[in-house]
Amino acid sequence: MSHFKEEKTFLMIKPDGVQKGLIGEIIKRIEQRDLKIVAIEMFQATPEQVSGHYPKDEVWISRLGDKTLSTYTKYNIDPIKELGTGNNLEIGKMVRAWLIDYMTSAPLVRMVVQGLHAVDMVRKIAGPTLPYLADMGTIRGDFSNDSPILGNIEKRAVMNLVHASETAEEAKHEIEFWFGQKGNIFDYKRFGVDR
């Protein structure tokens, strides 16, 4: 049953995480939950790479637009006045373009994290997407404060410190995308976890 301990996920520290000096803090929170870093690298992403990372299908883009629109509804702000459209696909496309600007604005740190329930654990440690809704005790809740309302007015993506894969399937795809099929992924035993 040891394969349960070999679940892998992809975690990336975004520009604001790097520029706020949170690399160590983020790694610490992963390691202290008995998860191990099996690959890690700092690099500068190109716009093409970031565009390849985020899904291109209209379902995903519309869903991103829907999530953004829900904040407008919540705060009773007219999206047409702010963004020139109320269409979820159009808004999703705008947010996607802002994400590319944001993710190429400073170096990123890419990681593969391995351990029991790695995908769900890392999502839990990161906290939900929007910092203003993230609980204290999560990375996003403890170290960031942002919302789509302000972000969209400033024509930028929400700054939320990290990206973490949402499902095992997404993790497999993202690990291959960022580290290649035979990426530099290491195998070692964590004391107290693997033996």
- Catalytic status, residue 173: no
Q: Please give the residue ranges that form the binding site for ligand TYD (CB under 6 A).
A: 64, 67-68, 71, 95, 99, 129, 148, 151, 157-158, 160, 163, 166
Q: Distance (Å, rounded) from C-alpha 33 to C-alpha 51?
A: 31
Q: Nearer Cβ to ligand TYD, position 5 or 107?
A: 107
* Number of neighbouring beta carbons within 10 Å of residue 128: 15
Smallest separation, CB 74 to ligand TYD (Å)? 11
Strand pairing class (36-43; 162-164):
unpaired
- From 53, 117, 163, 173, the catalytic residue: 163
Q: Nearer Cβ to ligand TYD, position 121 or 157?
A: 157
Smallest separation, CB 123 to ligand TYD (Å)? 8
Smallest separation, CB 192 to ligand TYD (Å)? 30
CB 192 within 8 A of CB 175: no
Q: Distance (Å, rounded) from C-alpha 72 to C-alpha 19?
A: 29
